[in-house]
Amino acid sequence: QSKRDFAGADEYLCRASLADPSDGEIMAQYAKLQWEVNGDRAAASNYFKMAADVSPKDCNVLAAYANFLWNADESDEEEEQEDKEGLSIAEVVDRSTGIVKDEESRPSSPPLHLAMGLGIINHACIDGVDNKVDCLKLSSDETTDAVEEYYKRMIDENPYDPLFLGDYARFLHTSKGDLRGAEEYYSRAILEDPSDGQMLCLYAEILLQLYRDTNRAGLCFERAVQAAPND
């Protein structure tokens, strides 16, 4: 705050949070930096959630999180007002031609197929005896939905299990292309098991893909090598 060196603050808060993932106040400060300086509401929300998880009785952390939620809600209201003043939601402008198209004419998103060989199928493609589903009887989209429901149920039942958190993060990352969701669950898995070098590497890859943040990614890779020097 004194030197206004935001890049330096970002780096050292990141290093501090990696060195001690159980310190909610450091995590909250890092979240505040992401929100107020970098303008990254998604990353800030993720780090505030983690801060509240690791320090659920710290009034400073909870107050900072509440303040963020309050301000984020105000930002949402401002964005909604701007949307109302512009085109209706059902219209989209082709900027290359200036032609207004109906929402239905938008190109559909590319299909997201279940990635094979990740170990995901083994968790979900079993009969109903284990409360799981037979993937051979389902389409790709149905399989993806079934696997996701399975992971959500397992995480609801085991919210601090790093194996389930990490597996779900991989599923979101590789099978669904949900980088934001993957970032959250990789982070949670690392909080529960900071010594998992492979998870740290995957988290570093997400930081590069989402933010092109070579500093934070580099720190994660360094910590991964320290955690698993023989991997």
What dotted CATH number matches 1-108? 1.25.40.10
Q: Do domains 1-108 and 111-231 have the same CATH topology?
A: yes
What dotted CATH number matches 111-231? 1.25.40.10
Among the listed residues 123, 223, 129, 197, the one whose alpha carbon sits nearest the alpha carbon of residue 164: 123
pLDDT-derived band of residue 98, with 50, 70 and 90 as boundaries? very low
Please say if the pLDDT value at position 117 is more than 70: no
pLDDT at 141: 63
Half-sphere exposure of 97 (CA within 13 A, CB side): 5
Mark 213-224 as b/e (b = at least 16 C-beta within 10 Å): beebbebbbebb
Domain boundaries, the chain: 1-108, 111-231
Structure tokens at 62: 């909870």
Please say if the pLDDT value at position 90 is more than 80: no
**For residues 171 and 174, what is the distance between their CA atoms, to the nearest angstrom?**
5
Residues 6 or more apart whose CB falls under 8 angstroms from that of 174 comprise: 115, 118
Please say if the pLDDT value at position 51 is more than 50: yes
Q: Confirm whether pTM is higher than 0.75.
A: no
